Structure 1
């Protein structure tokens, strides 16, 4: 009983004289992980002491805590599950791990909705050094602990980069689909190359054009060459029309014109091609299930090849489930489980899949037919060719394929018709086996494996079936092997690779061996390559050159102590030595350095030990945004010549009537023009008079180049045609924080050879105003000091609001959409009340901003019964306020209550600072 009386005296039932000495003040708490938020603290005038809220700070720092209002305790795990703590305000003790500390009456306060501790206790017990500047109403934190909120922020940042891994976890709602046109877009890539020497002067050029035609994309290349010796040529290549289909398992593309077959021996033809291979290449071959159980509400992450690929929260039973897309090749998966108590559980796995694999049940095909073109048709007098192949994922570990090719060539009887097939298998999830068969040509067996230690083995055995275009030399067998052995050297991870090829002919054999080793010593990269070959015929072995190539590279650091003119300079030295003949063959040194921010000089000096000649090459590359220029000067004893090249691309943004220059190729790709604008007339689309926002205010889930033009339009280039992109609005890039987009996440499909127009309207943020009222004995009173959780419906947005002394609350800059507000459940427990119902409202898109008032939340005693037949308590519906027009200047008109609350807070802070100055 004395303990209860003591607690009552220090906390809940403070006398009026004691209460008058204390005041709740709002301190600005600034922390990199938490951000800048307000924290409600207690200030004691008599002792000039500040007391910090336990539950609120632990909640912000995401330290595990469980308040118990009946027993006056706060307990949980501090940072890790093996470090439990209990703060007992009845016994006035704090226990952390096995250490117990006794509290003094001046170390804590018990408020109406919160427990408070002095900053000294936070520091001495938990290692959280809070610094309070009462004059500036500022609170800061210093600690050596890695706080849970920091861990979560780091994980969220990694999750935001999931798209960089190339596997999209979720497609945003489609905002702009594929829009086909009869004629649209226009792009032109160009390359102009001029050579000048005393004996010869020449000019060559290449122009590649592309546009949309008849709903598909058409492109082609013109090549020209002119020289002073009378040679003039002009020809075309790659002239073809393509029509793409997305999300169609039967056909994905039709191509007419100049194309290449996909058989055993690719041929250039002019004809027709059909396929159902997806437009966006498959990024996985199957879905691999990983599931299990852990502590309920644990955060579970899955990493693929050391990069985050998925995230889920375990359900109330602790169950989690991932369908992981496994990419081709070797895939390492690592499961990270973060339990609510702070424990980290890690489980690693490794999977191996063939590159030729298809998902189970998936069937793909390719069909091409046409006339052979180029030198091939002239040399073998061939006219027509037809090819077709089909592949199918038989099981999760087996894929089969077959194909055939017919050629109109009587001179090659065994090549007129070719049939081939293959089987690809995955054994024990990491051993790959592939069998290829092409009767009358060859049979091939391929096997490979890579272990968790990075040790890898690969072997290919080919048995030739007679002389053919695949075996001009008449070999019988070919064996190729490759092995990589990793190891540690001087504390660094490195390795050595060995490879060899053994070709067996009827009366001889040829063998080539190769080894490669690279290492890093300080800032110097070293590479050693050894190459040798020999031939055996009739018992006699003839050896070739045994070449040892050594290369050293070094990049000078860009530190302040290094002279400016050599910072970032790249140096490379290389020697080629013939071990068998004991002589050097070639020595070379390269120096490269950036200049003028967009340029780079390159100097190469070489010396041939065999011919005793020196050659030099000096180059300068200027990489501007609109064009790339390269100048090269070569000099040797044979003479001097100069080469100048210009490369770039021109695109036409038709809808915005803008010509866009670029130093990168654009034909065959796509682009987008993104209009970020303030929708002054609430039309939902860009009209004359709307204000364009010239900022890089969007993010894509794939790589692209972003640039804001002089017309204030953001253009995205280097997009892949027909691909679907996820776009999100980056509000941090918009200087005006009151502007919010109507849609902040959506997807679009890139149209080929053109700029796709995308409009994103912005509006002034909405403002809400209301109060939290407690209904007791037929009367309602406002409740101050409460934390309100504001959440968006269907969006990832959540924030905390605070009620003022009269129970009122407000906030600004809300994006259009639906929201809910809940009172903090911990504080409801302190007050022994409950919320009648969740408050819901909608902010509408308006250029001047939407304003809702009368959003009242009713609280009743926890033991009361809520009747649904009739309303026992007053409920206020949201009221829309139609503010007067402001002649288009879009300045936000502050609500009356907001202004009053601001003035009340400023007056309170001014009075506090005045009393502090008077006391000092």
Structure 2
């Protein structure tokens, strides 16, 4: 007899079977092929297959009266097994025992159903296919529903402050720094004063600058006047001007990098970053594949999973490390700067810099540094460099400066758990300290390695390094080996270091060994709070104490912790004692420190720092323990927009306790529905979204799901968030037949908002009905999807709906009819 074999909702086939009483004998080979289990061999009365993953053998042998799946054995009643030349019919109970699935037989409907096929390769393949469809849907750029176009009118005010008061003379020995900022001409104007040394000396440093940013502009994206940092590879602090077409904030995404490999024909290969699917491909007939996955600056740990057609699974991982010096392919960036030197030994400095992304893997750089000096000769230093990735595992870099130095480095990182690094620098004999760092240095070599034996243990690893620095009459070698071992709340970090200093005819060498132990109390200690204990010591030549320390930190509450410490130095009889209180509140942060040195002298220090920013929504200054100068702020109100017009009117209250996400930060509204957030990056768009689960009524929705805002510097911008009441839309779909209308089950419907063009897909139930929550007020079109109608050669109605914001005026039930096309 013929029965329908159904594996959940993922696979179905009509097969021939047998009925013995109420039990069904199903064709085993057909079942396994439908489930995508690889069948190796079928002979009369015997079938051999392989269960993946793991390559476990599955054998059903009628002659031996036994069935086996891996280590499991299932007895066979040979009288209830039917065999022919190409098939073996077994009872459903045998299938359940072998494959650990549940099988239901309905003789009225002539169906054999596995309601939950999880664990079978066909189900796993269906899950992966749905994940790929979701990946493709997510690949479309998620655009904001609303863009806040803020005028660059200027205004605002922000102020950073820092004050340090010693106990010995709080006024005369005090030091301070104050910096203010304004939004001026679409940019950030900053000015500040800071004491140099104790306040009694009267010496102050004055800084002022203006930064303009034009995001996405072709020729100029940044310009700074006043105090700043010169362009180019050497960060020289100047007072002058700089201009560049480099972005203010470089996108983390560098581009798409290809990765090729080979497994087997008919396999699917997926790439994951942080558990999220980022790329997939199906192998060609020769088993080769090529993935293109997005890569970011820095480390890119990628996990690969290869799935065979019969459930085979192969997993491995690779790490792609891309230095921040790389540019996207065919991207040209320049930088020009010049001004008076501030903190280095020169009177003035200038730089012209060019960088070009030759490909996704290589970037070239060239430029000129010019330094003017008073009593010494001026320095003109043209330079050139190259940075790139030879493979997905090996990165290299090199730089040469005329009459300065030549440097090269290589980094080999097969994974996050294994890394090798080597670098070499040769300095010219005449290289000035401006370029060599230290006068008289001739060369520097470095080699290092890192290995984590178990990827699951982040803080269990070993590392080793060697560094050699040569000067004109000697050399310094430092060899160090260490590691870390963690067991629950205890972490131990031992190390050993050898130093050899050879200067002229003298040689000095010695060993240093040390051990640091860290203990953190578990969070389950409750009222005892969180404690952190750190103890360590270093010994020279394995016997003489160099330094020993003990530190205890007690977290009293989230805003306050107490830090107690003692440090012993070799040759000192008494320790250095220190205690501090650290306070971090929404208004400011402060640290009070007291210490007693080995001689018995005591001292204390109080430091306070924070910032202010004018908030026009509340008519007051917002306080913060973080910096506010050259940062942006966002404030506004979340309110119930009863008439869905996007403007707050009478009778539309603020909503308390609503959780908002702004970029990576979160904030909740106060009792009046107001919110305020500081420390936002200016000039760059950020998405504001409402956590719908924090809304009081499940039928409330934000007027826009995503709002894009570009915060200006040094001030708040007001963005109010309307919450609109939504409606429930329900109805049914009927299929017109000669015998009358019948429910159209499983029909795909599309609900399209005419104002925005956004669509929502829904599916009818078995009785043809549908039901959808959270439909925002507006005008909609609703109909069966064009793909379904075309596939079934049907024609259908399209309903035009007006959804009211008034909850007392619900939309009427919708009836859609479809029928045969012409």
* Both structures adopt the same fold (TM-score exceeding 0.5): yes
Deviations 1:110-164 (A, max 9, x none): 58xx9899xxx97xxx699xxxxxxxxxxxxxx99999799789979x989x9xx
Worse-superposed segment, 808-817 or 714-723: 808-817
Give the counterpart of 1:552 among 484, 495, 517: 517
**Kept after mapping to 1: 8 A contact 2:703/2:723:** yes
For residue 280 of structure 1, give the secondary structure of its aligned residue in structure 2. coil
Q: Tell me how far 1:579 sits from its aligned partner.
A: 1.4
For residue 173 of structure 2, give the secondary structure of its aligned residue in structure 1. strand
Partners of 2:674 and 2:227 lie apart in 1 by 37
**Kept after mapping to 1: 8 A contact 2:230/2:337:** yes
Relative to structure 1, the CA distance from residue 568 to residue 410 in structure 2 (aligned partners, 3 Å threshold; closer, same or farther) is closer
Give the counterpart of 2:567 among 606, 612, 626: 606
Equivalent position of 1:451 in the other structure: 414
Partners of 2:309 and 2:785 lie apart in 1 by 23
Matched, 1:744 2:705: yes
Matched, 1:202 2:170: no
Q: Tell me how far 1:241 sits from its aligned partner.
A: 0.8
For residue 644 of structure 2, give the secondary structure of its aligned residue in structure 1. coil
Matched, 1:708 2:669: yes
Alignment of 1:371-520 (within 5 A): 371-373=340-342, 376=344, 382=347, 384-409=348-373, 411-413=375-377, 415-452=378-415, 454-469=418-433, 470-471=435-436, 472-487=438-453, 494-520=460-486
**Kept after mapping to 2: 8 A contact 1:487/1:493:** no
How many residues of Structure 1 are paired with residues of Structure 2 in the alignment? 750
Equivalent position of 1:232 in the other structure: 202
For residue 564 of structure 1, give the secondary structure of its aligned residue in structure 2. helix
Equivalent position of 1:66 in the other structure: 12
Alignment of 1:300-379 (within 5 A): 302-304=271-273, 306-308=274-276, 310=278, 323-336=292-305, 346=315, 348-373=317-342, 376=344
Q: Tell me how far 1:320 sits from its aligned partner.
A: 10
Equivalent position of 2:694 in the other structure: 733
**Kept after mapping to 1: 8 A contact 2:727/2:777:** yes
Deviations 1:480-537 (A, max 9, x none): 2223344469999843322232222333222233333221234321112333422224
Partners of 1:626 and 1:803 lie apart in 2 by 59
Alignment RMSD: 4.9
Partners of 1:174 and 1:823 lie apart in 2 by 24
**Kept after mapping to 1: 8 A contact 2:405/2:431:** no
Q: Tell me how far 1:344 sits from its aligned partner.
A: 5.6
Relative to structure 1, the CA distance from residue 110 to residue 213 in structure 2 (aligned partners, 3 Å threshold; closer, same or farther) is farther
Unaligned stretches of 5+ in structure 1? Answer: 8-53, 85-90, 129-142, 163-167, 868-920
Partners of 1:270 and 1:399 lie apart in 2 by 29
**Kept after mapping to 2: 8 A contact 1:64/1:77:** no
TM-score, normalization by structure 2: 0.77
Q: Tell me how far 1:774 sits from its aligned partner.
A: 4.3
Partners of 1:297 and 1:838 lie apart in 2 by 43
**Kept after mapping to 2: 8 A contact 1:445/1:461:** yes
Partners of 2:192 and 2:557 lie apart in 1 by 34
**Kept after mapping to 2: 8 A contact 1:668/1:753:** yes
Equivalent position of 2:623 in the other structure: 661
**Kept after mapping to 2: 8 A contact 1:774/1:781:** yes
Equivalent position of 2:506 in the other structure: 540
Matched, 1:571 2:513: no
Matched, 1:182 2:153: yes
Relative to structure 1, the CA distance from residue 540 to residue 226 in structure 2 (aligned partners, 3 Å threshold; closer, same or farther) is closer
Relative to structure 1, the CA distance from residue 294 to residue 203 in structure 2 (aligned partners, 3 Å threshold; closer, same or farther) is same
For residue 202 of structure 1, give the secondary structure of its aligned residue in structure 2. coil
Partners of 1:676 and 1:266 lie apart in 2 by 44
TM-score, normalization by structure 1: 0.70
**Kept after mapping to 2: 8 A contact 1:447/1:460:** no
Partners of 1:694 and 1:448 lie apart in 2 by 52
Partners of 2:311 and 2:620 lie apart in 1 by 55
**Kept after mapping to 2: 8 A contact 1:586/1:609:** yes
Equivalent position of 1:46 in the other structure: none
Q: Tell me how far 1:391 sits from its aligned partner.
A: 0.9
**Kept after mapping to 1: 8 A contact 2:657/2:670:** no
Partners of 1:169 and 1:809 lie apart in 2 by 27
Relative to structure 1, the CA distance from residue 264 to residue 248 in structure 2 (aligned partners, 3 Å threshold; closer, same or farther) is closer
**Kept after mapping to 2: 8 A contact 1:694/1:714:** no
Equivalent position of 1:220 in the other structure: 191
**Kept after mapping to 1: 8 A contact 2:634/2:719:** yes
**Kept after mapping to 2: 8 A contact 1:669/1:718:** yes
Relative to structure 1, the CA distance from residue 407 to residue 823 in structure 2 (aligned partners, 3 Å threshold; closer, same or farther) is closer
Unaligned stretches of 5+ in structure 2? Answer: 19-23, 38-50, 53-88
Give the counterpart of 1:773 among 720, 725, 734: 734
Q: Tell me how far 1:242 sits from its aligned partner.
A: 0.9
Partners of 1:833 and 1:433 lie apart in 2 by 59
Relative to structure 1, the CA distance from residue 737 to residue 276 in structure 2 (aligned partners, 3 Å threshold; closer, same or farther) is same
Relative to structure 1, the CA distance from residue 466 to residue 396 in structure 2 (aligned partners, 3 Å threshold; closer, same or farther) is same
Worse-superposed segment, 715-724 or 569-578: 715-724
Partners of 2:214 and 2:773 lie apart in 1 by 45
Partners of 2:682 and 2:301 lie apart in 1 by 31
Partners of 2:503 and 2:263 lie apart in 1 by 67
Give the counterpart of 2:796 among 837, 843, 848: 837
Give the counterpart of 1:853 among 790, 803, 812: 812
